[in-house]
Structure 1
Amino acid sequence: MQAKLIKHINALLPSDSSINDAIATALDISYDAAHRRTSGKSKLSLEESVQLASYFNCSLDVLKEDGLNNIVAMRKTQQIKTPTDLEHYFNSSSISVASLTSSKDVTLYYSAKDIPIFHTLAGNLLTRFKIYVWLRLLSSSEKRISFEAYKIPLSVIEAAKKLGDLYKGIPKTEIWDTTTFNSTLKQILFYYQAGMLSIETATSLCNHLSELLQSISTEVSKKDSDLKIYHNELLLMNNTVLIDTPYKKAFYVPFTFLSYFETSDTKTCEQAHLYIKEQLQQSKFLNTAGEREQHLFFKKIQDKIDALVQLISASDVLGFE
């Protein structure tokens, strides 16, 4: 394991560079201490191995011994319990996304079981509602308080909007079904029926969803759009994300609502990329499907939004208060 890592790092260095000097610099140790590690006389600790992998920007999959090909190194994003945790999540995600926007030939693939989070981060009423829902679902300590009375720090809203704005600049390929809006629609209905959302706010949220849907529909109809949407009726989407760049791939698997397991394991990312490409081949590419196909797809989602508005309105009329 140690020999494989040293060999991999050595292959990354210029031909006239010293592996001992490089290891000494990366670990902040003496030349002799580095030599003992490169020669195998001293063992690298797990912490040192991780530090070297990070310093030389190589995946931890190089540490695996033969016969351990089914074991993948994963990193778990921070668990979210409070508004502060959520703000940190938005800010750290913005740093990651910003690094992508400066790169060429980058594509983000999103298997959209729900509305991709980035589309809901415009800093408006819908953004505030999604934050309200996420924090209530992620923390049992959240008190039973209505959405209208719930105070979300302005810094959290601003961090969310910054992330949403950055996402607009990335070429993205999303796989949708007509059920992609269902989760958000159910959340609106649930909190309305629980008495934690007024009829005016619930209706306004539905209007925001209609505006978002129209905006996405318009974007898809444009030539050379950064947003590509595929319709797959059979694939069970799960909000997985794959980031593909010429120099690196990263694969994100949902852990909780907003937390992910992340890996840059080369073999795993290649397998995920191949799987996504196969799904795209079995999906309908809405951007080139024609006006009629696009209209039918987005109308099915709009019909669900309209049905929820009618249900909310009817329940208010039929109330016995």
Structure 2
Amino acid sequence: MKKQDLIINRFRESVTDQTSFIQQVANVLDISYDAAYRRIQGKAKLTADEAMELAKTGQFSLDNIMVQDVKLSALGEATTHVNSIKSMEEYLVETVRNLRQLGKDGVRFEYSAKDIPVYHHFDNSELARFKIYVWLQLMDPTFMDTKYENFHLTMEMKSAMKEIAQLIERFEVCEIWNDTTVTSSLKQIDYFLTAGMLRLEDARILCKDIKNLIALKQKELLTDRYDIHYHELLIMTNNSIAYKHGKPVAGFVTMTMLGYIRFTASNMLHRIEGYFKHQLKQATSLSHSNSKERARFFNKIEQKINALEKSLERYEVLDF
């Protein structure tokens, strides 16, 4: 199939308007009905600008078209390498841009949650500041001596984090969790407390924030837009895939702790789509489970948080 036919077909798949498809192409390209018909039939060539306009309006990538016949290749865009506060700001802005490209309607986001998904932390809680602090500790060589109490989010970070949270709220979200998804956040609190980088009172607040976050996720399971699938065996990856009106449109594969590659090539999308479908079949949907099964899952998480809080009490007694 010719590249122009592929572009036209992808645009046809992306539109939901019930009006004439020819007229929709004409409207988007600002050309006559007859000119649109000739392009759809292949009797006239799309210009580069017209192809890009169809891709922009249809919210699909031309990368997908360029590698249609390539079996093992994907054109992808890597996020900024985070190694400073400035590059952290750039990373968050890039994430906003990638989420915006998915549009507002008909988006489903599936996420393999090795850790609590990053976008759950983007609010006004102490936990949001702590997670950014931890990431900078691990990736910025000049940041290692900074104590948590001396670190504050920049206005650029706050703005981008707020927008990421707002964008995610538009999507239908399905996450795959296991028993260790919350563990890393708890270990981070314990580590920085023991290292003298985190005050005891802040550690208590962070434990409370994690409890509040988990309670919020439990409530959101009762809505139509959010679900957690519990998978007992899968080792999570923090990889994700996005769908638009049921069709895969973007994949996100992690390179580093925060960095990822965004790709739209259909061959790679089909591969990651198959992987997610298989794992979801092996997992248990908590939104469709009975209250006993949901309670069992969240009780395990609460016990882990309680264990850390108990250790904080012992830490206070020994702190002489």
Q: Which amino acid aligns with 1:147?
A: Y
The one-letter code of the counterpart of 1:60 is: D
| Cα displacement (A) at 1:65 | 8.8
Q: For residues 258-310 of structure 1, what are the alpha-carbon distances to aligned partners after superposition, in whole Å with 9 as ceiling and x for unaligned? A: 11012111121122112211111111111121111111100100110110011
Residues 19 and 191 of structure 1: CA distance in aligned 2, closer, same or farther (over 3 Å): farther
The answer to whether the Cα contact below 8 Å between 1:112 and 1:180 also exists between their aligned partners in 2 is yes
Match of residue 213 from structure 1: 214
Q: CA deviation at 1:242?
A: 0.2
Of 79, 89, 92, the match for 2:91? 89
Correspondences of 1:1-321 after superposition (within 5 Å):
5=3, 8=6, 14-17=36-39, 22-23=47-48, 25=49, 58-64=61-67, 68-100=70-102, 102-104=104-106, 106-220=107-221, 222=222, 224-246=223-245, 248-319=248-319, 321=320
**CA shift digits 1:99-158 (9 cap, x unpaired):** 435222x21000001001111111221100011111111211224021001233133123
What CA distance in whole angstroms lies between the structure 2 residues aligned with 1:171 and 1:7? Answer: 31
Question: How far did 1:53 drift?
Answer: 11
Residue 37 of structure 1 is matched in structure 2 by: none
**2:63 maps to amino acid:** L
**1:74 CA drift (Å):** 2.2
CA RMSD, Structure 1 to Structure 2 (Å): 2.7
Contact 1:219 1:227 survives alignment (8 Å):
yes
What residue identity is the alignment partner of 1:100? Answer: L
User: C-alpha separation between the residues in 2 aligned to 1:101 and 1:22?
Assistant: 24
Name the larger-Rg structure: 1
Gaps of 5+ in 2: 12-24, 26-35
Q: C-alpha distance in 2, partners of 1:156/1:296?
A: 36
Deviation at 1:197, TM superposition (A): 0.3
1:252 to 1:280, Cα distance in 2 relative to 1, 3 A: same
2:15 matched residue in structure 1: none
Aligned partners of 1:272 and 1:233: how far apart in 2? 20
**Deviation digits for residues 9-38 of structure 1, max 9, x if unmatched?**
587784424755614x569xxxxxxxxxxx
- CA drift of 1:84 comes to 2.5
CA contact (8 A) 1:128 1:157 kept: no
Give how far 1:171 is off: 0.5
**TM-score with structure 2 length normalisation?**
0.81
Alpha-carbon distance in 1 for matches of 2:205, 2:162:
19
Count of aligned positions: 290
How far apart, in 1, do the equivalents of 2:6 and 2:142 lie? 47
The unaligned stretches of length 5 or more in structure 1 are 28-50
Separation in 2, partners of 1:101, 1:9:
19
CA offset at residue 52 of structure 1? 10
Q: Structure 1: how far apart are the matches of 2:68 and 2:89?
A: 39
- Partner letter of residue 238 of structure 2? N
Q: Quickly say closer, same or farther: Cα 1:245–1:52, change in 2 above 3 A.
A: closer
Aligned to 1:48: none
Structure 1 residues 108-117 or 55-64, which shifts more?
55-64
Q: Distance in 2 between matches of 1:237 and 1:180?
A: 8
CA drift of 1:61 comes to: 4.8
- 1:22 alignment partner AA: T
Kindly indicate whether the alpha-carbon contact (under 8 Å) linking 2:68 and 2:266 is maintained by their aligned counterparts in 1: no
2:140 maps to amino acid:
S
1:248 CA drift (Å): 5.0
Answer yes or no: is the 8 Å Cα contact 1:87–1:160 preserved in 2. no
Deviates more, 1:242-251 or 1:289-298: 242-251
